Amino acid sequence: MKIRVGFGFDVHPLESGKDLWLGGLKLPAAKGAVGHSDADVLIHAICDALLGAANLGDIGTHFVNTDARWAGKESSYFLGEVTRMVLAKGWTIENVDCTVTLEMPKLKPHIPAMKRILAPLMNISEDDISIKATTNEKLGYVGRTEGLNAYAVALIARKG
């Protein structure tokens, strides 16, 4: 059995009047994330962790952020495609562990729903997905609610 780990990071700015998509869910929030797609930092970080583990480049390689096809695109589509690419190389996804840093809203009540959305996209069980959240203790751009971050690690495995 060969195993590999991958790491992903993403950041997007926050602005009033925008939607906040996180983990495939649209959350009630005073500010939303700005980006070419739906700016779902959590899914983008997971995509990069999976692509990194399989040595398949990064999300920007496959979904260029100047391509009109991806304008406003739901990031769940990207995760489904990334999973397809990883599985096509003979890997299975074992687990992902993620942390989102943002000041508001509180994510904890929404995490079970995010897991329900993300699990089938990666062909894994909800128990194989960990999503954690922390504020940035009011420090820096996250603390000033100018942006949010997501970090993810993914483990993949295959025979041989």
Compute the least distance from the CB of residue 101 to Mg ion, in Å. Answer: 14
Chain residues 41-80 in contact with Mg ion, contact rule CB under 5 A: 44
- Identify which of residues 1 and 71 has a Cβ nearer to Mg ion in the complex: 71
Compute the least distance from the CB of residue 39 to Mg ion, in Å. Answer: 6
Compute the least distance from the CB of residue 44 to Mg ion, in Å. Answer: 4
Chain residues 25-44 in contact with Mg ion, contact rule CB under 5 A: 44
Name the one range near Mg ion by CB under 5 A: 2-10, 21-29, 50-58, 117-125.
2-10
Q: Does 10 bind Mg ion (CB under 5 A)?
A: yes
Compute the least distance from the CB of residue 28 to Mg ion, in Å. Answer: 21
DSSP conformation letters of the chain: -EEEEEEEEEEEEEEETS-EEETTEEEP-SEEE-SSS---HHHHHHHHHHHHHTT---HHHHS-TT-GGGTT--HHHHHHHHHHHHHHTT-EEEEEEEEEE-SSS--GGGHHHHHHHHHHHHTS-GGGEEEEEE--TT-HHHHTTSEEEEEEEEEEEE--
Residues that bind Mg ion (CB under 5 A): 10, 44
